[in-house]
């Protein structure tokens, strides 16, 4: 038998036992969280000064690029990570691209030219192209699929380069061009896997997504620290209350996701893609909630230029999206009868708390999430 070349990536065994995240993947997550923190910081500062549209769009665009690169890498690693030096080197190239993207993220919020963010994104994506080409050489059964992935991702990089170079950074045209580009990126897996599926490992993928959820919830912990150490001094009673409630709400968001129910229970491509793509909202909302807590702290310290209702909604909206997104990707497949309405109702109540009870919104949001956790086991037993 010929020795496998180091740059060839054969498929992993989908039935492999005890498959878990590797130290390399955890390192990759660390690089991603730096970029996520930059995006959340941009959202925080924009919303705190009432630049709502710019902040939301900037966060959406920057977080999408970070999440897309993380997601594509995670699924390819689940299928083809053979632990070789080649795979490690290309993973580190992608990590470096993530750090470059983080450095270029402030320009996304400032309406400036996105050259640095583009360079980081292209580095990440071309590193992934190299991995897919290695997978194509590694096994003939997956060659056509791997080549379609490489071709699709490569062509999209040409598209991104052209729109960044040709369109003004703050124009409406570039906003639409970004949305079209995102649609094209999301269509690549359906295009690539129309004949044969990626040999990803279910337990590994579920664990990887769970770890990323913990990482993005870490943005909320940064706000807790900010509240406790307000301006480097002892916190006021109001900021201390925000910090405590932010910690409680973060713990409850974690508990709603990690409640023992099975994720990714079916293997159909449509279900897998809904679960994989739906986590964009889960992860983005968790990171945005951290930015929202920071906005509320700024408001309490008189460092923000927005209304109390807007400050409370900066938390309520992402928490509601998080709750509803968890229902979309998992709970609607498992909850039956009246239990089906629990999470959507919870999301609506969170929004109402932020919109109409801004002074006490955080404690009301916490009560709603506690109620969901308490009612869930009881409602599941009802037909």
Once rounded to an integer, what is the mean pLDDT over residues 279-295? Answer: 96
Work out the pLDDT band at 380, boundaries 50, 70, 90: low
pLDDT at 193 over 90: no
> Token match 């919020």: residue?
109
Q: What does the alpha-carbon distance between residue 174 and residue 201 come to, in Å, rounded to a whole number?
A: 37
Once rounded to an integer, what is the mean pLDDT over residues 44-72? Answer: 92
> Token match 């927005």: residue?
306
pLDDT at 336 over 80: no
pLDDT at 2 over 50: no
Q: What does the alpha-carbon distance between residue 267 and residue 275 come to, in Å, rounded to a whole number?
A: 11
Cα distance between the two ends of the chain: 58
CA 48: distance to chain centroid? 22
pLDDT at 337 over 80: no
Tens-place pLDDT, residues 138-174: 888 889 999 999 999 999 999 999 999 998 877 788 8
Q: What does the alpha-carbon distance between residue 76 and residue 200 come to, in Å, rounded to a whole number?
A: 7
The Cα-based distances of 206 to 69, 149, 256, 383 in angstroms read: 17, 22, 15, 28
Once rounded to an integer, what is the mean pLDDT over residues 292-306? Answer: 90
For residues 220 and 246, the answer to whether their CB atoms sit within 8 Å is yes
Once rounded to an integer, what is the mean pLDDT over residues 317-326? Answer: 97
Once rounded to an integer, what is the mean pLDDT over residues 316-345? Answer: 90
Q: What does the alpha-carbon distance between residue 151 and residue 178 come to, in Å, rounded to a whole number?
A: 19
Work out the pLDDT band at 1, boundaries 50, 70, 90: very low
Tens-place pLDDT, residues 250-278: 999 999 999 888 888 887 888 888 999 99
pLDDT at 283 over 50: yes
Secondary structure of the chain as H, E, C letters = CCCCCCCCCCCCCCCCCCCCCCHHHHHHHHHHHHHHHHHHHHHHHHHHCCCHHHHHHHHHHHHHHHHHHHHHHHHHHHHHCCCCHHHHHHHHHHHHHHHHHHHHHHHHHHCCCCHHHHHHHHHHHHHHHHHHHHHHHHCHHHHHHHHHHHHHHHHHHHHHHHHHHHCCCCCHHHHHHHHHHHHHHHHHHHHHCCCCCCCCCHHHHHHHHHHHHHHHHHHHHHHHHHHHCHHHCCCCHHHHHHHHHHHHHHHHHHHHHCCCCCCCCCCCHHHHHHHHHHHHHHHHHHHHHHHHHHHHHHHHCCCCCCCHHHHHHHHHHHHHHHHHHHHHHHHHHHCCHHHHHHHHHHHHHHHHHHHHCHHHHHHHHHHHHHHHHHHHHHHHCCC
**pLDDT for residue 258:** 94
Percentage of the chain surpassing pLDDT 90?
Answer: 63
Tens-place pLDDT, residues 83-113: 889 999 999 999 999 999 999 988 888 878 8
pLDDT at 280 over 90: yes
**pLDDT for residue 3:** 46
Instruction: Mention every residue, 6+ apart, whose C-beta is less than 8 A from residue 217.
Output: 250, 253, 254, 286, 290
CA 62: distance to chain centroid? 11
Tens-place pLDDT, residues 231-240: 666 778 888 9
Q: What does the alpha-carbon distance between residue 118 and residue 243 come to, in Å, rounded to a whole number?
A: 36
Q: Average pLDDT of the chain? A: 89
Tens-place pLDDT, residues 53-64: 889 999 999 999
Work out the pLDDT band at 381, boundaries 50, 70, 90: low
pLDDT at 132 over 90: yes
């Amino acid at each position: 038998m010929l020795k496998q070349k180091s740059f060839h990536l054969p498929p992993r065994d989908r039935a492999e036992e005890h498959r878990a995240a590797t130290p390399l993947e955890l390192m990759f997550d660390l690089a991603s969280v730096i970029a996520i923190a930059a995006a959340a910081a941009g959202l925080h500062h924009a919303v705190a000064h009432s630049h709502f549209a710019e902040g939301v769009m900037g966060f959406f665009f920057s977080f999408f690029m970070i999440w897309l690169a993380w997601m594509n890498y995670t699924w390819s690693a689940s299928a083809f990570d053979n632990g070789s030096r080649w795979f490690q080197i290309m993973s580190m190239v992608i990590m470096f691209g993530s750090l470059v993207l983080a450095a270029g993220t402030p320009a996304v919020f400032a309406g400036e030219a996105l050259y640095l963010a583009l360079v980081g994104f292209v580095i990440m994506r071309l590193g992934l192209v190299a991995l897919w080409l290695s997978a194509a050489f590694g096994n003939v059964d997956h060659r056509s699929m791997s080549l379609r992935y490489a071709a699709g991702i490569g062509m999209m990089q040409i598209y991104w380069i052209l729109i960044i170079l040709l369109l003004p950074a703050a124009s409406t045209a570039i906003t639409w061009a970004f949305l079209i580009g995102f649609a094209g990126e999301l269509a690549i897996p359906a295009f690539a896997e129309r004949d044969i599926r990626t040999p990803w490992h279910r337990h590994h993928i579920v664990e990887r997504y769970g770890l990323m959820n913990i990482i993005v919830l870490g943005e909320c912990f940064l706000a807790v620290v900010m509240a406790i150490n307000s301006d480097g001094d002892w916190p006021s009673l109001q900021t201390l209350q925000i910090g405590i409630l932010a910690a409680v709400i973060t713990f409850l968001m974690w508990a709603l996701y990690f409640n023992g129910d099975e994720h990714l229970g079916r293997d159909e491509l449509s279900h897998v893609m809904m679960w994989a793509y739906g986590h964009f909202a889960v992860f983005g909302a968790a990171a945005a909630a951290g930015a929202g807590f920071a906005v509320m702290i700024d408001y309490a310290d008189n460092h923000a230029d927005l209304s109390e209702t807007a400050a409370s909604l900066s938390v309520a909206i992402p928490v509601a999206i998080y709750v509803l997104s968890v229902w979309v990707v998992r709970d609607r497949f498992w909850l039956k009868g009246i239990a089906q309405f629990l999470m959507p109702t919870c999301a609506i109540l969170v929004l109402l708390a932020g919109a109409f009870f801004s002074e006490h919104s955080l404690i009301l949001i916490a009560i709603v999430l506690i109620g969901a956790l308490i009612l869930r086991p009881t409602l599941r037993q009802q037909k």
